[in-house]
A and B are shown apart, each in its own frame.
Chain A
Amino acid sequence: MLIGIDVGGTYTDGVVFDGDHILSSVKVPTDDNNLLQTLLQVLDELLNSLQNVDQISRIVLSTTLVTNILATGRGERTALVLIPGFGLPHNAYQITTDTFFLNGAIDFRGREIEGLDENEIITLAQQIKKMNFKRVAVVGKFSNRNASQELEIKELFQQIMPEVSIFTGSQVSNQLNFPRRAVTTFYTAMILPEWINFAGQIEAALKSRGLQSEIHILKADGGTMPLHKSLEKPCETVFSGPAASTMGALAITMDTKNSVVVDIGGSTSDLSLMIDGQPLYASRGAEIEGKLTHVESFSLKSVALGGDSPIIYNHETGKVDIAASRLGPAACFNGNAATVTDAFNQFYELGLGDTKRSNNFLGEIAALAQIPINELCDQVISQVFERLETEIKAMFLQWENEPAYRVWEVVNRSPFRLDRIIGIGAAAGIIVPQLARRLGVESVIHAYSPVANALGAAIVRPTMSVQLHIDTQQGICIAQPGGEVESPGNLNNMQMEDARKLAIEILAEQAVQAGLQDYAQDYSIQMEEQFNLIRSYHRSGKIFDVAVQIRPGFIHKYKGVKI
């Protein structure tokens, strides 16, 4: 038996899944001020529905904790120390008010092109110490190619302020993009104390309930990681809720169509794309608090429009609008405001809840606007469709306009052809079929659609990836995660097959270390590049970049759902 719990913005959903069906499900309102409490409430209700808790082999949690910490500014005050070298002006990297700059520079081949200034580092350390920072993030441009300057600074800092925790960019990411690496490292430093605390409480709570099951956290890339792994990279847990929904949509369809997944919640709708049955990734990484990061995430679009979005009459414009902030449930479900759900309920005669209440509350607004109720509903519904349609089309366009760096990528690109819309979330059944009809495609609303997010969390497999960069001329062989790698044999004789094999071996080794040996063979090649270095018409070396990953997918036992 498997448990999946998704802590969303409005509601927290949980399911117990076994074999090919959901045994029980729970939905409770989320208490933003006490996510742990909400989570445990759902867990306890799920456990209460079971005879024997010993059979629970795995619990997967998706939580908005990291997003909440960053959004509310609860993260610990952190100094960001950058080594930007030459290029953009320093003000382009003023990521936070506590940003400091140091001399030094590494180039794209990992060569030191400007040395560090030890006195400058010591002076800065003393300043940071005086300012009472407990956390420091140190990030250098091209530290992904050569981490030595970051590490040297870390060592000097540690000597001067041993009580301070120091994070380096190279331990967080080795992808190109210095500002994203800086932001990701900075956020990691900020949120880690609270995350560690949270993880500890979860572990204790499970222990006190006598649970022996594995505990995993859901990531933005639609995969899981063991709880202890999340202590290294807590940022990866952002946007795991929408990722859970996307994976839930995949779980109930399990085919290779092109889909848009529309997860309609209380106050927001989350959109994601699936191409040939594979979720589409955000090419620029997850954007957290308005800043791009190196967190691998699905391409998501969140629209401030949900089933509980209230309908209002705007006295200034004389028009009917849909407000952004949720006041409570729909009138038909005993709420005290007319909502989007009520408009659909009335217009399409869906018979949801107390239809009289829908009618009454809508009537009040219709009277203000001096139009018939049906006209009001029609206006609201048109607005809902137009906004969702606009966002969906913008997502297609964005996908079609992704940059391409190879001839074959340009030649083989075709416009996005939509097959269907998959509706997820409680209000999806109300809105999605009509939306699909408008777009002239089929829609999928499954009996598990309302809890597909929790289902997705319950059954997805762990993901991990290894990126390997090899520069035979510079004698560089670096993996992320892991850092420098001992090359098997002479680096100069390395071929693409060898580089690929090495990356796969490193991935397998790391999977075993993380306790994920069952998935070590499920890898796929995410990216491979090789360049011949030509100097004066002669080959003088090679550069390889290989990324292997365990892609998002389902645990081996999962073969589809029965109702």
Chain B
Amino acid sequence: MKPTGVLFFPAFDWAITPTHPEREERLLYTRDQLFEEGIMDLPQIREYHPRLASPADIARVHFVVPDLDSHITEAHLVAAGSTLVVADAYMNREIKNAFAIIRPPGHHAMSVSHGNRGFCNINNEAIMIEYMRKKYNIKRVAIIDTDVHHGDGTQEIYYNDPDVLFISFHQDGRTLYPGSGFTSELGGPLAWGTTINIPLLPRTTDEGIHYVIDNLVLPILKEFKPDLIVNSAGQDNHYTDPLADMRFTACGYAILNEKLAPDIAVLEGGYSVETALPYINMGIIMAMAGIDYSNLKEPDYDPGMFIESTKNMNAIEQIVKQQLAVFRHRQDVIEENRRTGPAWFNEYKRIFYDTDYIDEEQKVRISNCPVCSGVRLIDSSAQHRNGRLYDVFCISIPINLCPECHEKGNTIYKDMIKNGKYDLVYLQDRIDDKYLCYDSKTDQEQSY
């Protein structure tokens, strides 16, 4: 049996600010626990060494405004690069699956990145997935976001891509950051039904979450038949997390990973650094490596500590039923949208960067193509903390677009440069693996 790959990168020399929850200490006790257990010495585990992600790896997913150096630190590049290391090891069949225990996290980072939101600057999972789609020709991907917060960044990146299934269960957006992830968010018109949200009431327990896994997530995965399953593995559903209010346990996380059997899990949030993280991280590794985890528990855990209420179970059953129907209907709805929709689908958005206090305005347009999911155009403006206002135009050509839309995206890029109205014009051409950024002030084009 092949081993499970573990890449542990605690970034012991990096913090957002000295007293921020995303701090040096965050994975210290996880380090202590993993090392003291000696789990890395077991034949079932192989430890990997991180590397830096390249500018092209970032540009494949993000439009970083104004440029990479402005707010992407080396720590971000190492965290993102770590996911690429395990992706390579997985694709080269060195390991059967992998867990990247890395920080800083990424699942709140969206396509356009003006700064840090929800502790994230760049989206580690998306960077890994696009790398794997390009390098290894992976077609269908499922991302299960098990963080307590809605993975709004990952959702936004794949909202219009029918080949990437995004499922997130989280504490209800009415009671927790980022305030999204409602059942009505189901994907763009041509990718409807491959975004599935399961908002849960505060204090949901193992029982409630496992009901969702068994009756919604696993059946959908079976029907979707992904080539790759990624767990966006936040650990803040834990009953001791200081930033959220759920009742999930370390054992609950271990069982979840055993059932889900992700090919690659990537750590996201989780800020109960002493009473949750050491045990959850152990549990996930053990479950992924097929090691008996019956001796693992939090010191204060007592079976029967948390009982799910009938009322909450009924509510969960209701959501599960509703979302399963959505998923099974998706082809019909997409066809209908394609037939009746305009030539371009339009959307207006405001995005708030809580960490950096930036307000972004976006106009998004998706072309209504009869054969593919369409080219995506984002007109974004935001005032950065240094007072500068940026108006940028971004063109995204996902890897699965038709030749016509591919061509169309490239033409629009040239047109927008001539237009001269934007500070920066970006072209993200994943088909040709070509990433350009034109700066109208200097009349220079940067290529990644």
Instruction: Report which A residues bind B (CB closer than 8 A).
Output: 84, 86-92, 105, 107-109, 113-114, 141-142, 144, 176-180, 284, 292, 400-408, 410-411, 529, 531-534, 536-539, 543
Contact = CB atoms under 8 A, between A and B. Distances in A.
A103 to B, nearest CB: 12
Contact of A406 (B13, B36, B42, B291): B13
A144 B35 CA distance: 12
B291 A92 contact: yes
Kindly list the 3 A-B residue pairs having the minimum CB-CB distance in the complex, ordered from nearest: A108-B32, A113-B299, A179-B38
Nearest to B51: A410
Contacts of A402: 49
A492 B28 CA distance: 20
Given A86-B299, A532-B18, A534-B21, A403 B36 contact: no
A180 B41 CA distance: 9
A94 B39 CA distance: 14
A86 B11 contact: no
B267 to A, nearest CB: 14
A88 B37 contact: yes
B74 interface: yes
A199 B293 CA distance: 45
B224 interface: no
A87 B295 contact: yes
A108 B49 contact: no
Contacts of B21: 534, 537
B10 interface: yes
Interface in B228-271: 242
A405 B295 contact: no
Contact of B294 (A89, A178, A534): A89
Interface in B46-72: 47-52
Nearest to B33: A108
A406 B14 CA distance: 8
A322 B297 CA distance: 53
B104 to A, nearest CB: 10
B303 to A, nearest CB: 14
B75 interface: yes
Interface in B73-112: 73-75, 78, 81
Interface of B: 8-14, 18-21, 23-25, 28-29, 31-33, 35-39, 41-42, 47-52, 73-75, 78, 81, 242, 274, 278-279, 282, 286, 291-297, 299
B41 A88 contact: no
Q: Is the interface of B mostly helix, strand, loop or mixed?
A: loop
Nearest to A400: B49
A179 B33 contact: no
Contacts of B279: 86
Contact of B39 (A88, A534, A539): A88
**Of B47, B242, B286, B295, most A-chain CB atoms within 10 Å:** B295
Contacts of B52: 410-411
Contact of B13 (A91, A178, A180, A407): A407
Contacts of B32: 108, 142, 176
Contact of B19 (A89, A177, A403, A539): A539
11 contacts: A90-B295, A108-B32, A109-B29, A142-B36, A178-B36, A180-B38, A407-B13, A407-B74, A410-B9, A531-B25, A534-B20
A114 B297 CA distance: 12
Given A88-B291, A89-B291, A406 B12 contact: yes
A360 to B, nearest CB: 47
A114 B36 CA distance: 17
A114 B78 CA distance: 38
Given A87-B37, A178-B36, A180-B41, A408 B50 contact: no
Contacts of B297: 86
A531 B49 CA distance: 23
Contact of A404 (B33, B49, B73, B296): B49
Contacts of A92: 38, 42, 291
Contacts of A400: 49
A405 B36 contact: no
B13 to A, nearest CB: 5
Contacts of B41: 177, 179-180, 284, 292
B23 A178 contact: no
Contacts of A533: 25
Contact of B29 (A108, A284, A408, A410): A108
B291 to A, nearest CB: 7
A411 B36 contact: no
Nearest to A89: B292
Given A534-B23, A534-B25, 13 more contacts: A87-B282, A88-B37, A89-B295, A90-B295, A108-B274, A109-B29, A142-B36, A176-B35, A401-B49, A406-B12, A410-B9, A531-B28, A534-B21
A400 B12 CA distance: 20
A410 B78 contact: yes
Contacts of A86: 279, 295-297, 299
Contact of B299 (A90, A114, A292): A114
Given A108-B33, A532-B24, A177 B9 contact: no
Given A534-B21, A538-B19, A403 B49 contact: yes
Contact of B35 (A114, A177, A292): A177
B168 to A, nearest CB: 27
Contacts of B293: 89
Contact of B31 (A401, A405, A532): A405
Contacts of B291: 88-89, 92
B305 to A, nearest CB: 16
Contact of A531 (B14, B24, B38, B278): B24
A484 to B, nearest CB: 19
A92 B33 CA distance: 15
A512 to B, nearest CB: 32
Contacts of A177: 35-36, 38, 41
Contacts of B11: 405-407
A404 B50 contact: yes
Contacts of B12: 405-406, 529, 531
